[in-house]
Amino acid sequence: MPIVTILDKLYGSYSPTTLEKIYSNLMIGLKVQLGFRGTTDRGWIQLDVSGADEIAALYLLDREIGLAPESLVYLQKFSVIQGKIIFSNTSTNRLYVDLGASSPNICDAVLSDKSLYAQLTDGKEISHKELVRLFCFYDYFPIQVKLFEDITTGNESVNARLSESQLSFFKKCIRSRFDRLIILGSLISDVQRAVKLSRHYRDIIRIESLGTLEQVILCKLGTDAVGLIPKIGRSLKTAVLVPFSPKKIIEKLGGDSFDW
């Protein structure tokens, strides 16, 4: 019976039972049992997986949610890996990404402001606080990075940059000109219900998932994500709602910054 760490963290108002049911629903048709084992010190969810279709179940979990590396030894220079942002409220000049691995020790990916300027702002320097605000680099935001050095035993951090896929995500969001409302700490079903209760379905195009507890509301042209926060947020009291505004990003950095 393997114990696996998946790339979801337990936070917000949700119980382990609620999330366990969601993961079990992915296994319909398979002879397998999933059980909530607990969380790591960083809040990553661990599951027991057992049954005749155990290998298929692990494949599904990896494809649909993602599995954390079993050990840092599996990561090397130029590895591309998914993680979640941490320390956004305390860091002043770099972005920290929790990679989920804790053996033989915890090692975070670190993206310096200098590297973020090179990738996101065409070299234009703005404050770290503005980078966080403009690109929604808040705790629990799922983000994919590429490592730019080997990890050695005992290292607490490793230099990284945004992956090409992550850059393409921001590029697509900015060029679309549509505002997006990022919701951290809520199931998609609860976001759908909140939108329905707010009677703002006509103002949105669709709701997308970045993770089990991380959602994105894609707004229609002319709808400001900021204006939706108090109306939708009243039904999502424990979630964090932040706007992603292409207009504000372009005003701050200039359109030439995004000729990627």
Domains of the chain by range and CATH? Answer: 3-64 (3.30.70), 72-170 (2.40.50.140), 180-244 (3.30.70)
Sheet order of strands, 44-50 included: 3-9, 44-50, 33-39
Task: Please confirm whether the linkage preceding 230 is cis (ω < 30° from 0).
Answer: no
Indicate the pTM of the whole model: 0.93
Q: Give the Cβ contact number of residue 48 at 10 Å.
A: 14
Quick one: pLDDT at residue 59? 95
In a 3-state reduction of DSSP, which class is residue 205?
A: strand
Quick one: pLDDT at residue 73? 87
Distance separating alpha carbons of residues 209 and 109, to the nearest angstrom: 23
Q: Which residues contact 69 (CB under 8 A, 6 or more apart)?
A: 75, 81, 99, 100, 101
- In degrees and rounded to multiples of 5, residue 169 shows phi and psi of -60, -50
Distance separating alpha carbons of residues 51 and 21, to the nearest angstrom: 17
Residue closest to 249 by CA, chosen among 184, 196, 187, 174 = 174
Distance separating alpha carbons of residues 196 and 58, to the nearest angstrom: 35
Q: Give the Cβ contact number of residue 145 at 10 Å.
A: 23
Helix 225-233 with 188-198: angle, nearest 10 deg: 100
Alpha helices in the chain (DSSP H): 16-25, 54-64, 113-120, 128-135, 164-176, 188-198, 225-233, 246-253
- In degrees and rounded to multiples of 5, residue 35 shows phi and psi of -140, 140
Quick one: pLDDT at residue 1? 61
- pLDDT tens for the chain, 260 residues: list them: 689 999 999 998 999 999 999 999 999 999 999 999 999 999 999 999 999 999 999 999 999 999 999 888 889 999 999 999 999 999 999 999 999 988 888 999 999 999 999 999 999 999 999 999 999 999 999 999 999 998 887 788 999 999 999 999 999 999 999 999 999 999 999 999 999 999 998 999 999 999 999 999 999 999 999 999 999 999 999 999 999 999 999 999 886 665 65
Distance separating alpha carbons of residues 54 and 58, to the nearest angstrom: 6
DSSP 67: B
Quick one: pLDDT at residue 70? 86
Quick one: pLDDT at residue 258? 59
Quick one: pLDDT at residue 2? 84
